[in-house]
Structure 1
Amino acid sequence: MPPKVGGKSKQIQAAKSAAGNQKGARKKWSKGKSKEKLANLVLLDKETFNKVNKELPGQKVITIANVSDKYKVNGSLARRIIRDFAAKGQIKKVIYSHRSGIFTKV
């Protein structure tokens, strides 16, 4: 069959589909809860690096979550920062498991 020519049939189909969608769909009263995505840093910039070097060795409790939240870096970067500070001897290990660890000032 050859394709239909004419603008009226397209307009009629569009109107029918729009009307059908309105009648068939039910009103949703709640949109559901959605958590905001964090835009944390993946690499350290100069400003954040200086802030971490100055403040981190003086903190009483140092965890991956604390570092990530305070300095707005992602979890893998927070683990790397903690590992570097522990290797330098600026912070010491209290408890460490394969998942997370707790560190403190020296």
Structure 2
Amino acid sequence: MFANTRSSDRRPSSHLPSLPIDKPTHASRRSKGKVKDKAQHAVILDKTTSDKLYKDVQSYRLVTVAVLVDRLKINGSLARKCLADLEEKGIIKPIVQHSKMKIYTRAVGGSD
């Protein structure tokens, strides 16, 4: 007796919107971003790069590993070795000696 009254009070199931079958669902479209080319830096100091190093570094006001990597197209470990060699020869002098970043400038005049 109660079952008949409850079933007649219910709404028909057709009020729910049906999903269209013929339309494909759209996946999230993310941009893949820009792809940077892999840099091909030298790992060995050849004659031309060595000449450019000793000639041009004397004119740089700020000398860091990143400056040498960018301008001479050498890798970071080679740039660190070059900085140590230039400091030993007295071409550059240190400004900041931090464990993560060493900053040098050109050595002008006599030694301090």
- Tell me, yes or no, whether TM beats 0.5: yes
Please, what TM-score do these two structures have when normalized by structure 2?
0.66
Please, what TM-score do these two structures have when normalized by structure 1?
0.70
Q: In 2, Cα distance between the equivalents of 1:32 and 1:103?
A: 36
Q: In 1, Cα distance between the equivalents of 2:57 and 2:33?
A: 38
Partner of residue 12, structure 1? none
**3-state SS of 2:103 partner:** strand
Partner of residue 46, structure 1? 47
Deviation at 1:89, TM superposition (A): 1.0
Write the deviation string for residues 14-41 of structure 1: whole angstroms up to 9, x where unpaired. Answer: xxxxxxxxx9xx6956333322210000
Gaps of 5+ in 2: 1-23, 108-112
Greater mean alpha carbon deviation, residues 57-66 or residues 31-40: 31-40
Partner of residue 69, structure 1? 70
Greater helix fraction, Structure 1 or Structure 2: 1
Which letter does structure 1 place at the counterpart of 2:66? A
What is the RMSD of the two structures over their aligned residues, measured on CA atoms? Answer: 2.0
**3-state SS of 1:55 partner:** helix
* Larger CA Rg, structure 1 vs 2: 2
Q: In 2, Cα distance between the equivalents of 1:72 and 1:65?
A: 10
Write the deviation string for residues 56-87 of structure 1: whole angstroms up to 9, x where unpaired. Answer: 12211101100110000000101110110001
Q: Aligned pair count? A: 84
The answer to whether structure 1 residue 83 and structure 2 residue 51 are counterparts is no
Counting aligned pairs with the same residue, the percent is: 37
Gaps of 5+ in 1: 1-22
The answer to whether structure 1 residue 59 and structure 2 residue 68 are counterparts is no
Q: In 2, Cα distance between the equivalents of 1:57 and 1:86?
A: 11
